[in-house]
Chain A
Amino acid sequence: MSAVLAARHLTKHFPGVKALDGVSFELERGEIHALCGENGAGKSTLIKLLGGIHPKGSHEGELLVDGAPVAFDGPASAEAAGIAVIHQELALVPELSVAENLFLGRLPRRGFRVDWNRLHTETAFWLERVGVSLSPETAVESLGVGQKQMLEIARALSKKSRILILDEPTAALAEHETRTLLDLLRQFRREGVSCIYISHRLEEVFALADRITVLRDGRSVYLSKTSETNRETLIRHMAGRDIPKSDRASSPETRRAAFARNAVPRLEITGLRVTDPAAPEDAPDVLEGIDLRVHAGEIMGIGGLMGAGRSSLLMHLAGAWGRRTGGKVRLDGADLAPTSPADTLKRGLALVSEDRRRYGFIPGQSIGFNLSLSSMGEIQRGWIRGEQETPRNRAVFDELGIRAPGQETGVSVLSGGNQQKTVLGRVLLAGPKVILLDEPTRGIDVAAKEEIYVLIRKLALTGVGIVLVSSELPELINLSDRILMLREGRPSGVFPRGTSAETLLAAAMSPPTP
């Protein structure tokens, strides 16, 4: 057998981060090759490279299709080479029909007009091919996620794709839809279509894949035939063995000495249930049965895979999202109703969102403007008193080590790390009792990361309760005193300090205990 698709020594840098570090990878004809790894291991970057989304010139290394070197300047040229990427977020136009979506941008024509008859016959053919019984004229918005997924696959096949790359295709599928999809992929394999399959669900990987590659920290660390490996080995390689031991300086004992452990918790959540107000009536709750206590000076980690409900939980606590259908949240012993971010902030609970650009700062304004935003009440007497504002912001600017010419510098020109420090500074100036940190080091360089770790520990020492959500297990293990793992919006265990990454990862992936 020869490789239909091969990658040699792929390296891809993002500012401050090496997303891929010399990855080599081969896909045989008629093979299903699973790609596994934690969030941030480099899987998405790899498929973006293979799919032409990161074009030639933006990375190092070589790509070969059928043994011949290729260079993609965009998704279209990857498609022309027979590679189709099916992303987690489906790229369909909801208002258009199934047929129109299937042939979007290449509708069959007769003269100037669309040849509707041919469009519908061809659509019917491809739909049958993926085993979906649908009228070609159905509007896509009325389809379920599973059907949309199948439609994407049909579209890929209709473009004569020989290589399918599926990114978490079953994440949103129901059990029977997943079975249909897996059967379909097996059938394609018999027909000689090759497939790269990315999934967090190890059961599927073992049920489907011929070979498995594990990525970690941008490197390919493990390759095996499925028949010659097992779940434990896989998890061990995904987590890695070289997770640094936590440093003693900020051990929970130190902090426990400073704050009476059995005092009222800073944050106490019992039996929390939250639904998505935008979801249909019969949709399951996004969060269910969440119990959590965070004491003064404690760093409570929350782990889980993407879509486990971590960010939803934090956004809900901050009063910005979701309808509470059960349970209680207490802040310093007093009930905290989900009203508005302004109210929760005033009560002493502040959020640093994972999406800095969207939720974190006001672009086009200065660092100082952004620093003041959550605490304008404290420096005003009808008007904002510059003689108080400037020195106060200056102090935070210096303490956080924001690297910029001054606080009048525009926040948009800063690096990710300095923007994050600005957001943290804004939150700190509001004087919170509990800080919710959602992926506080996402997209920032290593040096700034370390500074933010130091800051988080320092904050805990001042008696703030900290909730830390992170997709990076080493970060979570290193900083947290305890870790709550979530899986599909349900808790799958609370683990003490010193728990191994393997155990945490298993908790993130295991089906919820009945």
Chain B
Amino acid sequence: MKQTRSSLRETALLLTLGAVGLGFSLATGGDFLTSRNLSQLFIEYSITATLAVGMLLVILPGHIDLSAGSGVGLTGGIAAVLITNQQWPAPAAMAAGLAVALVLWAAMGTLVVREGIPAFIVTLGGLQAFKGLFWKVIENKTIPVAQGGTSNALSLLTTTYLPQWLGWTLAGVLIAGFAWAGWRARSARTAAGLSVETAEMWYLRTFVTAQVLGLLVLVCNRYQGVPMPLVILGAMAFGVHFLVQHTPFGRSLVAIGGNAEAALLSGIRVKRVTLVAFILMGASVALTGMLQTAYAGYSTTDVGNLLELDAVAACVIGGVSLRGGRGGVGGVLIGALLMAVLGKGMSLLGTGPEAKYMVRGAVLVTAVWLDLRMGAAH
């Protein structure tokens, strides 16, 4: 029953996504579907989605992170300042940004689990404090991520594309992996006497996945190849999906969000697990910070601004319950894609920021409303 409902939601989302994409294609006379545009869309999407997938880890146990956007600016700013002003090697500067994020998120997590301050408040404080810290670090200036004409590990994050053959190989490996994993899960379920989808369903699913991945690589290769951020997002999404679905840690997160008291009495170390979720969120913030700053080409005061709300919106549209205990990576990826498509499409149409904000707000509320309606109907 649950299974049916979440796949129903995802199907509805995908259909909406298709309709929105089609609408933009028609409205822009096909400009929306150019490889160059789609390639950029994928990079922007990857950045938001990376943060949203991390956000899932704190929302699952029933918390939230409003400081993520400021953290994105801060970590990228630290890296840029160390590279440009202190002449640090880029990998070391990026590691420093990551280290700061881990410490800050561990501190916020501690305040939440040990002192019992609501995450909303702690991270609202973080939002402001980290923004101030960020501006202090870059001294309200614009700091490039690399000297003009050169490149480094940070700038290459968003300017690297996989060679064509590697893109195809990666797609092939992934398709084979999906097919194998799907078949293996199916056999295991059969062996355990659980209900399984028909072999035709499995074939269809694998076929569609292959089509989508193939099309993705084809589109990307017509421009410059599969962009690195997309690969990073893929790895991150796979990692978090595995964590949530297949490890005791992920089960614990879901259990805490579902019923924290019962989770505690079931022997789950609620505080420890929640703290780890915050630290992982910190890592995700740092990763997003590097990507976002690299994509902008420099660190400046508005990098990461309001990005936390995009991440939360992507989660919520993707069916993650803000009360915790419900949600998965698949939904978040689709939710983030919907937000990214809307953003990119409206940019192409030359929509002003006023209308953009209003449309995004309306989409968020509508998506949740529809989800509640669908839930009530069951």
Q: A residues engaging B (CB < 8 A)?
A: 318, 320, 340-342, 345-346, 351, 353, 358-366, 369, 372-374, 376-377, 380, 382-384, 386-387, 390-391, 394, 406-410, 413, 426, 430
Instruction: Tell me the minimal C-beta distance from B276 to chain A in angstroms.
Output: 14
Across the A-B interface, the 5 shortest Cβ-Cβ residue pairs: A345-B267, A362-B258, A376-B248, A390-B192, A383-B246
Known: A364-B325, A406-B195, A410-B1. A380 touches B265 (CB 8 A): no
Q: Whose C-beta in chain B lies nearest to the C-beta of A383?
A: B246
Given known A-B contacts A318-B265, A374-B266, A410-B2, A384 and B259 have beta carbons under 8 A apart: no
Asked if A361 and B262 sit within 8 Å, CB to CB, the answer is yes
Which of B255, B266, B269 gathers most chain A CB within 10 Å? B266
Q: Which of A363, A366, A374 contacts B267 (CB 8 A)?
A: A374
Are B255 and A373 in contact (CB-based, < 8 A)? yes
Within 8 Å by CB of A363, from B189, B195, B259, lies B259
- A364 & B265 in contact (Cβ 8 Å cutoff): no
B242 within 8 A of A: yes
What are 7 A-B contacts with C-beta separation under 8 Å? A340-B264, A342-B264, A342-B268, A351-B265, A358-B262, A359-B261, A383-B246
Given contacts A384-B248, A408-B194, contact A360 B262 (CB under 8 A): yes
With A341-B264, A360-B262, A369-B255 given, name 14 new contacts (CB 8 A): A358-B261, A359-B262, A364-B2, A365-B254, A373-B255, A373-B266, A373-B268, A382-B247, A383-B242, A384-B247, A384-B248, A390-B192, A408-B3, A409-B1
- The complex places the Cα of A345 from the Cα of B268 at a distance, in Å, of 10
B258 CB contact (under 8 Å) in A363, A387, A394, A406: A363
Q: Establish whether residues B255 and A362, one from each chain, have CB atoms under 8 Å apart when the complex forms.
A: yes
A398 to B15, CA, bound (A): 41
Complex: chain A residue closest to B2, CB-CB? A410
Task: Digitize B309-346: 1 where CB-to-A-CB distance is under 8 Å, 0 elsewhere.
Answer: 00000000000000001100000000000000000000
Instruction: Give the residue of B194, B246, B325 whose beta carbon is less than 8 angstroms from that of A406.
Output: B194
Q: Mark B248-278, 1 if CB is under 8 A from A, else 0.
A: 1001101100110111111111000000000
* A320 and B265 contact, CB distance less than 8 A: yes
Q: Which residues of B contact A430 (CB under 8 A)?
A: 267
Is B193's CB within 8 Å of the partner chain A? yes
Q: How far is the CA of A351 from the CA of B193 in the complex (A)?
A: 31
Any A CB within 8 A of the CB of B188: yes
Tally B residues with Cβ within 8 Å of A.
Answer: 32
Give the contacting residue for A353; candidates B3, B185, B265; CB below 8 A: B265
With A and B bound together, what is the CA distance between A394 and B2 in angstroms?
A: 20
Evaluate contact between B269 and A376: CB separation under 8 angstroms: no
User: How far, in angstroms, from A373 to B263 measured CA to CA in the complex?
Assistant: 8
Query: B243 to chain A: closest CB distance in Å?
Result: 9
**B residues touching A (Cβ–Cβ < 8 Å)?**
1-3, 185, 188-189, 191-195, 242, 246-248, 251-252, 254-255, 258-259, 261-269, 325-326
Q: Give the total number of A-B pairs whose CB atoms are below 8 A apart.
A: 96
B2 touches A361 (CB 8 A): no
Contact B265 A341 (CB under 8 A): yes
Given A362-B258, A364-B258, A430-B267, A387 and B251 touching (CB < 8 A)?
A: no
Of chain A, the residue at the smallest CB distance from B271 is A340
A396 to B107 CA separation, bound complex (whole angstroms)? 41
Return chain B residues, CB-CB under 8 Å to A384.
246-248, 251
Take A390-B188, A406-B194, A410-B1 as given contacts and tell me if A342 and B261 are in contact as well, using a CB distance cutoff of 8 Å. Answer: no
In the bound complex, what is the Cα–Cα distance between A351 and B325 (angstroms)?
Answer: 23
Cross-chain contact of B251 among A351, A369, A410 (Cβ < 8 A): A369
The distance from the CB of A229 to the nearest CB of chain B, in whole angstroms, is 44
Instruction: Determine how close the nearest CB of chain A comes to the CB of B201; give it in whole angstroms.
Output: 17
Closest to B247 in A: A383
In the bound assembly, the distance between CA atoms of A382 and B267 in angstroms comes to: 18
Q: A359 to B326, Cβ gap below 8 A?
A: no
Q: How far is the CA of A275 from the CA of B193 in the complex (A)?
A: 50
Known: A363-B258, A373-B263. A387 touches B188 (CB 8 A): yes
Closest chain B residue to A350, Cβ basis: B267
B1 and chain A: residue at smallest CB distance: A410
**If A364-B325, A390-B194, A406-B195 touch, does A341 touch B267 (CB 8 Å cutoff)?**
yes
* B334: min CB distance to chain A, Å: 21
Minimal Cβ-Cβ distance residue in A for B192: A390
Contacts of B267 in A (CB 8 A): 341-342, 345-346, 373-374, 430
A157–chain B nearest beta-carbon distance, Å? 39
- Please measure, in the bound complex, the distance between the C-alpha atom of A345 and the C-alpha atom of B1, giving whole angstroms: 32
Closest to A382 in B: B247
Residues of B within 8 A of A380 (CB): 247-248
User: How many whole Å from B252's CB to the nearest CB in chain A?
Assistant: 8
Question: B325, A362: Cβ atoms under 8 Å?
Answer: yes
Q: Closest residue of chain B to A343, judged by CB?
A: B267
| Contact assessment for A366 and B248 in the assembled complex, using a CB-CB cutoff below 8 Å | no
**CB proximity of B49 to chain A, nearest CB, Å:** 23
Min CB–CB distance B351 → chain A (angstroms): 39
Q: Are B2 and A342 in contact (CB under 8 A)?
A: no
Cβ–Cβ < 8 Å partners of B185 in chain A: 386
The residue on B at minimum CB distance from A390 is: B192
Min CB–CB distance A141 → chain B (angstroms): 21
Chain A, residue nearest B195 (CB): A406
| Cα-based distance from A358 to B2 in the complex (angstroms) | 22
Complex Cα gap A369–B257 (Å) = 14
* A60-B198 Cα distance, complex, nearest whole Å: 51
